[in-house]
């Protein structure tokens, strides 16, 4: 527990990366205390807030007031909401707007929003003037438990998801769980998939906690939300602290993403399928593939699917129609994923809940069978 500028009841999780290490502050109302919290970590008293239109209307006034009260000068750059902003043209526009302000090397970029804003603004910070300081203030559950932590930033190319990017660690992350109150239920559920993911990777106790508390969390219980963010950040910080640049273990965080990115690509990265929904389906497919290969007890795959369905997340890929959503179409997307090495697709499989591992050279016929709806052989 923190009793300082973060306020009573706030928690702090440290990402241990030596000189690039930082704190993730988790609590209710942190946006209204952001100025006091950030004054100590900012290299100078000036930031550029990058946010999207939706979040600007809901949360920028409180952030702006808190920065002003702390004597931190700020400019705001507002981008359109949605995945379309994670692309080359919007990035170019953002870079132009940053440089036109102008910015100098010690001015921090403050990303206020979901994973789209965090990834876009983070990448802009990584490459503007060869690197500006970055602060992440995530306002979706997905961003609080995953995307704002660990330094992955980037945009999507027409060749695939997140193919252009950089590692750029923030100076601090402020996860204000009160900001989740304005999040549409569909977005909240999508983010919850990444909470479940952390349990499936290597925290079976956390998965059991999620089974017990996921319903409360989705229904609006702030304490459950804060606990899920804290435990997810602890799990992610441990992995990132060990393998910052994804040379090994960090790839486990891609559980559900090999299938998931293919599903998102097929959906056109839009409203049809949110990222977290694709990850939910992808995790079920990954466990069903593990079952089919004789590696995972069928009961664990079913336990995962049951919990995801219980909180209202999808667990199946849309049915093939008019040549879309076919195993062939999805495998074609997978081969363009950046996790392909030597032309071989990397899968994250599991020996059970909490026992994920990396695997290559999975026979195409097994992947096809699982995508076609066939589970265990
Ligand atoms: P998002 O940023 O598009 O946010 C979802 C929607 O919610 C948007 O319309 C946004 O305007 C709105 N919103 C955000 N906060 C709100 C709030 N508090 N109240 C009301 N509305 C709010 O999507 P996301 O799900 O947060 O992030 C998805 C992106 O994150 C994907 O592009 C994915 O690739 C990326 N991602 C990155 C990493 C990483 O490690 N960098 C990890 C996971 C996902
Ligand atoms: N979201 C995957 C990672 O941060 O590595």
Per residue in 109-154, pLDDT tens? 999 999 999 999 999 999 999 999 999 999 999 999 999 999 999 9
Q: Name the catalytic one among 33, 254, 307, 338.
A: 254
Is pLDDT at 327 greater than 70 in this prediction? Answer: yes
Lowest mean pLDDT among 102-106, 231-235, 333-337: 333-337
- Angle at CA of residue 184, ends 193 and 188, nearest 5°: 15
245 is catalytic: no
The yes-or-no answer on residue 257 being catalytic is yes
Mean pLDDT score across all residues of the chain: 94
Question: Which ligand 1 atom minimizes the distance to the CA of 274?
Answer: 25
The pLDDT score that the predictor gives to residue 7 is 75
Give 6-11's long-range contacts (Cβ < 8 A, gap of 24+). 6/30, 6/33, 6/37, 7/33, 11/226, 11/230
pLDDT surpassing 70 at residue 104: yes
What pLDDT sits at residue 376? 43
Q: What is the pLDDT of residue 18?
A: 97
Q: How far is residue 30's CA from residue 5's CA, in Å, rounded to a whole number?
A: 9
User: Any residues with Cβ below 6 Å from ligand 2, and which?
Assistant: 146, 150, 152, 250, 253-254
Of all ligands present, the nearest one to the C-alpha of 185 is 1
Higher per-residue pLDDT: 375 or 322: 322
User: pLDDT band for position 160 (50/70/90)?
Assistant: confident
CB 348 within 8 A of CB 259: no
Band the pLDDT of 4: cuts 50, 70, 90: low
Over residues 160-168, the mean pLDDT reads: 92
pLDDT the model gives residue 110: 98
In this structure, which residue's CA is closest to atom 5 in ligand 2?
Answer: 253
Query: Which among 168, 189, 197, 236 is annotated as catalytic?
Result: 236
What does the pLDDT average to over 219-236? 98
- Which atom of ligand 2 is least distant from the CA of 149? 4
- Non-local CB neighbours of 13 within 8 Å, separated by 6+ positions: 23, 24, 26, 230, 233, 234, 237
261 catalytically annotated: yes
* Band of residue 377 on the pLDDT scale cut at 50, 70, 90: very low
Sequence-distant (6+) residues with CB within 8 A of 120 are 50, 79, 85, 86, 90, 91, 94, 111, 153, 155
């Amino acid at each position: 527990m923190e009793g300082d500028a973060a306020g009573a009841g706030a928690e702090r999780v440290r990402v241990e990366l030596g000189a690039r290490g930082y704190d993730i502050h988790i609590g209710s109302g942190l946006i209204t205390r952001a100025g006091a919290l950030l004054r100590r970590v900012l290299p100078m008293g000036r930031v550029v807030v990058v946010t999207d239109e939706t979040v600007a209307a809901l949360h920028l006034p409180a952030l702006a007031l808190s920065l002003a009260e702390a004597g931190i000068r700020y400019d705001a750059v507002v981008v359109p909401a949605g995945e379309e902003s994670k692309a080359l043209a919007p990035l170019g526009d953002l870079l132009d707007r940053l440089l036109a302000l102008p910015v100098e090397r010690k001015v921090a970029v403050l990303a206020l929003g979901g994973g789209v804003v965090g990834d876009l603004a983070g990448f802009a910070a990584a490459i503007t003037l060869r690197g500006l300081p970055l602060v992440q203030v995530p306002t979706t559950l997905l961003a609080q438990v995953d995307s704002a932590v660990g330094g992955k930033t980037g945009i999507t190319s027409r060749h695939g998801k997140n193919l252009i990017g950089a590692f750029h660690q923030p100076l601090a992350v402020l996860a204000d769980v009160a900001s989740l109150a304005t999040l549409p239920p569909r977005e909240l559920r999508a983010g919850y998939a990444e909470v479940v993911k952390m349990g499936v990777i290597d925290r079976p106790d956390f998965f059991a906690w999620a089974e017990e508390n996921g319903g409360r969390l989705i229904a609006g219980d702030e304490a459950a939300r804060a606990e899920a963010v804290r435990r997810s950040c602890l799990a992610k910080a441990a992995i990132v602290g060990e393998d910052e640049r994804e040379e090994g273990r960090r790839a486990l965080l891609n559980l559900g993403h090999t299938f998931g990115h293919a599903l998102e690509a097929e959906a056109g990265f839009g409203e049809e399928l949110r990222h977290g929904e694709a990850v939910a389906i992808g995790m079920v497919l990954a466990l069903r593939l593990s079952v089919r290969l004789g590696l995972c007890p069928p009961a664990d795959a079913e336990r995962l699917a049951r919990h995801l369905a219980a909180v209202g997340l999808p667990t199946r890929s849309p049915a093939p129609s008019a040549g879309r959503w076919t195993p062939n179409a999805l495998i074609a997307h997978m081969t363009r994923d950046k996790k392909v090495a030597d032309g071989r697709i990397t899968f994250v499989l599991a020996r059970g809940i909490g026992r994920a591992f990396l695997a290559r050279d999975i026979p195409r016929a097994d992947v096809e069978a699982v995508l076609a709806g066939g589970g265990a052989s």
